[in-house]
Amino acid sequence: MMITLVLSSNMKRLLKNNVLVRKLMGIETAGSLNILFSDKTGTITKGKLEVIEFIDGDFNSYYNIESISNELQKLVLLSITQNNDSCYADGKIVGGNITDRALLKFSSNLKVSANVVDTIPFNSSLKYSQAKVKYNNQDYFLLKGAPEVILPKCNGYYDKSGTRRYLRSKIKVNEFISNKTYLGNRVLMLAIGKSVSDLTMVGIVLIKDEVRKEAIEGINLVKKAHIQTVMVTGDNKDTAICIAKEAGLYENGDLCITSDDLSRLHDEEVKKIIPRLKIVARAIPQDKSRLVRLSQEMDLVVGMTGDGVNDAPALKKADVGFAMGSGCEVAKEASDIVILDDNFLSIAKAILFGRTIFKSIRKFIIFQLTVNICAVSLSIIGPFIGIDTPVTVIQMLWINMVMDTLAALAFAYEPPLPEYMEEEPKKRDEPILNRYMRDEIIFTGAYSAILCVLFLKLPIFSELFREAENQKYLLTAFFGLFIFMGIFNSFNARTHRLNLFAHLFKNKVFIVIISFIAIVQVLLIYFGGDVFRTAGLSLKEFQIMFLLSLTVIPVDWVRKIILRKKGIIGGV
């Protein structure tokens, strides 16, 4: 129940941070990620593509469609409006992908008369889109896509007047493209021809997609969290490296590999390079699935982002699949978490909440097992030293409510602290109980049990309370002692710091619930009567009981100080 409470309560908080959790365990697993494969467009970059320049075959630049000469302009319009899945509707651009919409915007709604006969949509395997059109009573093939795929098919180009020229040096074109991609621009080539194998280059389109400022912050957070981020993009190598550097993802010495290079490597070779891998350029969906599989074989906890139909297998296979809010429904259905604003920073927040949830569960376990050790020890030892059951069935019901439901709610709302993002990810096989937890549970649990036994057996304690039939005042004080020890121990459990009030006011639910337990317990002591087998304590008796229960705090301080002297500073 505790796990369900923690996960469900954090879902609402995550939704406010643009993170929609589809599968409860997905968010908890996110806190254990070792490696994250992320898309570029819309996640690391803004996803608002803009055509910033058109370049003809003689390398003349044009910054708007109107500045291109008439004949060449017709060819450019033919290429970007007819080989395009977007269209104008009521003055707005609708349909298609973001690249198509950016190209159509560059056309300024100028039109050219042609009929589309057939189309082949863009896919990451072909690396271009194709349209067959009827133009001036002749059939033409229009290609738009990766220069390295289209340029080898070109034997000519159009100059600024729209005259076809023989393409003498493809090397110069490639060098020019390389210089542009080094600046982080995405480069598309437009070509036209009567045969797909004999094309004429219409020109080169430069598209800019700015890096999100929030993505830079998110990548930095994930890096501090010791999580490896790998950018998987359809861009070419130079563009990808430039953008990754700007985002703070790539440094000199890191590895960038293309899809073609990846396909030539055996699985064992890929496993060797994964620790240094930061970019996969010209990637295809199959690369994502393969990288997820190999990373999992290396015992890494893997996260994957995606937004398209082809991303669904990788999203489903990953330990945590992050679908983008703007993505297709197939991708969302295959995912564990949907990032509603397509923002990398939101992924970082999901990871932080995942770690917070895991810590909340551990804090609750410390609290509950400490109380259990005390109760079980008392039940086992009691009969041997002449102690009958010191609590009634009704009292036990209240104790169970405190231990389970109320405590679970209190710890469920622990705040996500930035310091959690500086810790190493939890290993896949890491046990829920670590050494720190075991020490605290055994140490505090043993002290609580000893205190309870001594309280019931030693005359020094019993003499402090009024005599009554069946030791009613002593047993009432014991009931209060047990509950208040639990209350004060909850403060010990929620932080490894000596300052028990650290970040306390960020968890107002904890304060409310603990206050509620304390108030109800006082009411039960004074007004529980025969139902709860309680008798109202005098002020002095209440103070004694309260101070004895308070001793669990200095006792736990001693444990924490000893650990600090040993150099063990940490917690759950």
Q: Specify the pairing of strand 277-281 against strand 320-324.
A: unpaired
> Sorting pLDDT into bands at 50, 70 and 90, what band is 63?
very high
The most confident of the ranges 469-473, 510-514, 564-568 is 510-514
Residue 11 pLDDT level (bands cut at 50, 70, 90): confident
Per-residue pLDDT band for 571 (boundaries 50, 70, 90) equals: low
Q: For position 182, what pLDDT does the model report?
A: 84
Q: Each residue of 351-389: pLDDT tens digit?
A: 999 999 999 999 999 999 999 999 898 888 878 877 777
Q: 389-415 pLDDT, tens per residue?
A: 788 899 999 999 999 889 999 999 999
pLDDT, residue 125, reads: 82
Q: Which residues of 391-414 are buried (b: 16+ CB within 10 A; e: fewer)?
A: bbeebeebbeebbbebbbbbbbbb
Query: Residue with structure tokens 């709604």?
Result: 109
Mean pLDDT of 324-353: 94
Averaged pLDDT for residues 255-261: 95
**More confident call, 552 vs 252:** 552
Pull the structure tokens for residue 550.
């308070």
Contacts of 288 (CB under 8 A, 6+ apart): 37, 232, 304, 306, 311, 313, 314
Mean pLDDT of the chain: 92
Q: What average pLDDT does this structure show over 541-559?
A: 96
State residue 394's pLDDT score.
94
As beta bridge partners, residue 51 has 207
Give the pLDDT of residue 570: 65
Q: Are 109 and 64 in contact (CB under 8 A)?
A: no
Domain 50-207 has CATH 3.40.720.10: no
pLDDT digits (tens, 9 = 90+) for 73-93: 999 999 999 999 998 888 888
Mean pLDDT value across residues 517-535 = 94
Enumerate the CATH 3.40.50.1000 domain ranges in the chain, comma separated: 20-46+210-342
Active-site residue 342, yes or no? no
Q: What is the crossing angle of helices 508-527 and 472-494, to 10°? A: 180
Average pLDDT over residues 420-444: 90
Please give the single-letter amino acid code of residue 231. Answer: M
Give the per-residue SS3 of 98-130: HHHHHHHHHCCCCCCCCEEEEEECCCCCCCEEE
pTM of structure:
0.87
Of 39, 287, 319, 556, which residue is the catalytic one? Answer: 39
CA–CA dist 481, 461 (Å, integer) = 12
Q: Which of 53-57, 229-233, 260-264, 384-388 has the lowest mean pLDDT?
A: 384-388
Tokens 């994502």, residue?
288
User: What average pLDDT does the segment 280-288 reach?
Assistant: 93
Strands, sheet with 228-232, edge to edge from the N-terminal-most edge strand = 19-21, 337-339, 320-324, 302-306, 35-39, 228-232, 277-281, 255-258
For 234, the 3-state DSSP assignment is coil
DSSP 46-109: ----EEEEEE-TT--EESSGGGS-HHHHHHHHIIIIIS-S-EEETTEEESS-HHHHHHHHHTTT
- Which regions of the chain carry the CATH code 1.20.1110.10? 352-565
The kind and range of the H/E element at 138 are strand 138-145
Q: Read off the pLDDT of each residue in 65-79 and give the average, rounded to a whole number.
A: 95
pLDDT at residue number 381? 84
Per-residue confidence (pLDDT) for residue 417, from 0 to 100: 94
* pLDDT tens for each residue of 161-178: 999 999 988 999 999 999
| pLDDT confidence of residue 569 | 66
Mean pLDDT of 22-48: 92
d(CA 317, CA 289): 7
Distance between CA atoms of 159 and 71, rounded to whole angstroms?
10
CATH class for the domain made up of 20-46+210-342 = alpha beta
d(CA 11, CA 32) in angstroms, rounded, equals 17
Residue 494 tokens read as 């929620």
Report the pLDDT value the prediction gives residue 500, as an integer from 0 to 100: 92
- Give the separation between CA 183 and CA 274, rounded to whole angstroms: 26
CATH number among 3.20.20.70, 1.20.1110.10, 1.10.10.60, 1.10.3720.10, domain 352-565:
1.20.1110.10
What was the pLDDT predicted at 30? 94
Nearest-angstrom CA–CA distance, 252 and 270: 20
Q: For the chain, give the percent of residues with pLDDT over 70.
A: 99
- CA distances to 229, 314, 377 from 304, in Å: 10, 7, 47
Model confidence at 568: pLDDT above 80? no
Say which amino acid occupies 363. Answer: K
Q: Where in the chain is the domain with CATH 3.40.1110.10?
A: 50-207
Mention every residue, 6+ apart, whose C-beta is less than 8 A from residue 50: 102, 105, 207, 208, 209
Nearest to 164 by CA among 238, 79, 231, 71: 71
CA 271 to chain centre: 24
Query: Which of 152, 30, 130 lies closest to 420, judged by CA?
Result: 30
First to last CA, the chain: 20
349 three-class SS: helix
Q: Is the distance from CB of 135 to CB of 114 less than 8 angstroms? A: yes
502-508 average pLDDT score:
94
Q: Which residue has the tokens 């350029």?
A: 281
